[in-house]
Structure 1
Amino acid sequence: MREGLPGTDWVPPLLAYYHKFKTEGLLTFLTLLDNKVSADLMTGLAPTSRMENMNTILKAIENAASSSVVNQDQSLFAVNKGDLQWVLNGKMYGRRFTKYALLKLSYLKLDHSLTSLDVSSAITVEHILPQNPENDSQWTKDFTPEQRESLVHTLGNLVLLGRGKNASLGRQDFINKAGKYFKGFLSVSPHMENVLHNKHSWLPKDITDNQQRAVDELLACYCPN
């Protein structure tokens, strides 16, 4: 949340909750708060509406007799699944929340009893299929211009990479990227490791399949019922 979200509206409710209830139900509350704040941002809620939602949560904390009263109040943390799904299936590159969505996919991949997510400000969003491939590259053989235009900026074609490697390998063919970067630095992003594990090519179906998986995983997190 600190690295991926553009604002800090979520901090006052978190501090208020901890001040009143300490660690009782804290992870549950933080998970609900994270989903609410990020979904409101991604679905285009106006800043005043997002702030009102945080104020509503603050008031609920103030009035609650126990942490469970807050955490079980579904109205406080409601997410519009249809709107969120529409956003996730659209153009994701360049949005204020793109890095956050990819960080969340990595977070969901981890066994948190064994490890934690290593979040660094030095990571950037990378296209697997590049935005402007060379005319004689394998990319132009594997993708039609229409496919490149429709798929290049989708969530299914994006991963998080180290900034230096991003700049040096961005337009190379997939086989070169895989050999020089992905196989050696998969620990940068658990989501990237899952997407590119044992991959020797990157075709339109790989993007659409990965897109479906990513959206399904995020929707299951935001709307589990």
Structure 2
Amino acid sequence: MLNDRGQPLSPIDILKSSLIQEIKQDSEKRKDFITTWDKLVEACKSVEGIDIDLEDFFNMYLEYADPSSSKKRADKGLKKVFKDSKKDACEFIYDVSAFMKSYTDLLKKQDRYIYLLRYLPSRYWASILTTALYVKYPDFDALKNLLVSYYYQTWIAGGTITRIKQTSINIIKNVKSNKDIETIQELILDNIESYNTFNQYHYNLWDSYSVYPSKWLRPVLALANYFMTDEEKPHFIVMDAETQVEHILPQTPKRGSQWNADFDKEKREEWVNNIANLTLLKRKKNAKALKWGF
């Protein structure tokens, strides 16, 4: 079957059709549902620089509404959530719309911690913090700080999504239940200890001769930028082709430069790709830097 765009029906198309069928006899409710759904779609483009994937968002809502069903396809899991809620289709989509409002509010925050979380390869952080905003979790700031520490340590340590998945789902459950931040911290510490994450993280970031070019490198350098600035609300650093990694001690110093006088070949090899020798520069500034003799 094809949708009205001539494409195969997605899980979200199937969910929408299923919900509309529940109110097909009530034209007013049907109209109200479609209006609310259209606003959901519009909200996907309401955050500057971010296109929210609707199916991805519904998967986030499923992780909030029924974490135990999060392994299911979105339409199947959400049909169960809808059935268990005892609400009609309009009431259900109102709840989803309110959750979307919490999500877009989260993405619009001018907050260095949120910026850092946006760079992550997984989106569990977004499910957790959107849930926290939606249920008005009192320790929101402590939670976001904790998530930056947990997810970055795991990422730098080489951890996969499998390593963080169950702990992330358990955090959502605890946030919904309004458990204190210490309880969530214990969950995270148990996960870090069971995978020896801290030692792997410490070696990869600080003890390794080369962090270049790791996928987490630019975000970690952005972290340094965010926390060195005095701005209360710093601007988001976009990780595009214009944002490049520059070596302070050059990879290949010019013959006769002071770098060669101060660093022998062995010391250069030890330092050149060390995290302490790297910084972020925009392409234009990087081009100028290449001309400097430092």
- Same fold, judged at TM 0.5 (above): yes
Cα offsets for 1:189-214 (capped at 9, x unmatched): xxxxxxxxxxxxxxxxxxxxxxxxxx
Larger Rg: 2
State the partner residue of 2:260.
Answer: 140
Cα offsets for 1:105-129 (capped at 9, x unmatched): 2333345xx5222232243221101
Q: 1:48 to 1:10 in 2, by over 3 A?
A: same
| Matched residue type, 1:146 | E
Aligned runs of 1:146-157 on 2, under 5 Å? Answer: 146-157=266-277
Q: Distance in 2 between matches of 1:146 and 1:101?
A: 26
Q: Distance in 2 between matches of 1:60 and 1:143?
A: 52
Bigger relative contact order, structure 1 or 2, given CA contacts below 8 A and separation 6+?
1
Structure 1: gaps of 5 or more residues: 175-225
1:59 aligns with 2:173: yes
- What is the CA-CA distance between 1:2 and the residue it aligns to? 5.1
Q: Which residue of 43, 49, 60 maps to 2:163? A: 49
1:77 aligns with 2:188: yes
State the partner residue of 1:6.
Answer: 121
Q: Which residue of 97, 118, 130 maps to 2:250? A: 130
Aligned runs of 1:1-225 on 2, under 5 Å? Answer: 1=116, 4-21=119-136, 24-62=138-176, 64=177, 66=178, 69-73=179-183, 74-78=185-189, 79=192, 80-89=197-206, 90=208, 91-111=210-230, 115-121=232-238, 122-170=242-290, 172-174=292-294
Structure 2: gaps of 5 or more residues: 1-115
Q: How many residues are aligned here?
A: 167
Q: 1:27 to 1:164 in 2, by over 3 A?
A: same
- What is the CA-CA distance between 1:50 and the residue it aligns to? 2.2
| Matched residue type, 1:95 | S
Equivalent pair of 2:156/2:201 in contact (CA under 8 Å): yes
Q: Which runs of 4+ in 1 moved over 6 A?
A: none
State the partner residue of 1:213.
Answer: none
| Matched residue type, 1:48 | T
- TM-score for both structures, normalised by structure 1: 0.66
Equivalent pair of 1:106/1:117 in contact (CA under 8 Å): no
- What is the CA-CA distance between 1:94 and the residue it aligns to? 1.0
